[in-house]
Amino acid sequence: MIEKSCAECGGTGWVLRNEDGERFARECVCQKEEARLRRFLAAQVPERYRDCSFADFHETRLALTKAKGIAQEFAAAYPVVDAGLLFLGPAGRGKTHLAIAILNEITRAKGKNALYVNFADLLMKIQSTFKTDAVESKEDVITPYAEVELLVLDELGATKPSDFARDMLYALLNTRYNRKKITIATSNFMDELGPGDREKLEDRIGYRLRSRLHEMCQTVLVTGEDFRKEVKRADFHARY
């Protein structure tokens, strides 16, 4: 819906002008802004994360500054990029924030199409197709994510997929790889075990998936203090 407060078109979506006694109509700028907002909303980003931007990403140490810089360079260069990004690091460091800040830029500033999906939710959708009374087929579930221009796959490995679901996920990523579609992913699991870690990313998603992601995405480490505890906790906002 076009906002009625638009000073240019008065909410009609068109601006009228006169030239040599003839009247012409051109599409108002607000139309394009509305279309880009619709693209962002169609990306299915959860409401909690819809305001994520580079401006409100707080870098508390060098690793976060570097990760933010890579994300900003990627968003600025898109669609002239050769590979996606895979943000790896412990929970609460801002991986999802950076991924959605990129999605925000690409849909709203550049007018491109994108989709966000949480890994656990995607697995549930795939598993729902196993039921005899399933409304959607496996192809119905996978196709939108396989074909969209930019895919953000959040919290990769949060749930361990079954062998069949892993095969479906590989088919999804392999299709995107072959079609040169760009994928951004995040995961709390690293490629090497750290203090207290029990599983690597490969242990969670399997060798084939991790191998394909190596070819599709640049790995970006996002480490530092827990952003949720240090910046986003409720008592921080209450004091400041």
**Domain positions in the chain:** 1-42, 43-239
Q: How many CB atoms lie within 10 A of CB 68?
A: 20
Please report how many Cα atoms fall inside a 13 Å half-sphere around the Cα of residue 62, on the Cβ side: 0
| Tally of residues, the chain | 240
Judge residue 110's burial from the number of C-beta atoms within 10 Å of its C-beta, 0-12 exposed, 13-18 middle, 19 or more buried: middle
128: Cα separation from own chain's centroid: 23
Please, what are the averages of pLDDT over each run of 10 residues along the chain (240 residues)?
60 69 64 79 94 91 94 96 97 96 93 95 92 90 96 97 93 96 97 92 96 97 68 42
Which among 138, 204, 216 is positioned nearest to 174, based on CA atoms? 216
> Which residues neighbour 168 within 8 Å (Cβ) at sequence distance 6 or greater?
126, 138, 142
pLDDT at 109: 87
Give the pTM.
Answer: 0.81
Q: How many CB atoms lie within 10 A of CB 221?
A: 18
Q: Say whether the peptide bond before residue 79 is cis (omega within 30 degrees of 0).
A: yes
What's the fold here for domain 43-239? Answer: Rossmann fold (3.40.50)
Distance in angstroms (rounded) separating the CA atoms of residues 126 and 137:
9
Which among 122, 123, 125, 185 is positioned nearest to 150, based on CA atoms? 185
pLDDT at 25: 62
> Contact 177/216 with Cβ under 8 angstroms?
yes
Q: Tell me the pLDDT tens digit for each residue of 9-23.
A: 766 666 777 777 666
Judge residue 55's burial from the number of C-beta atoms within 10 Å of its C-beta, 0-12 exposed, 13-18 middle, 19 or more buried: exposed
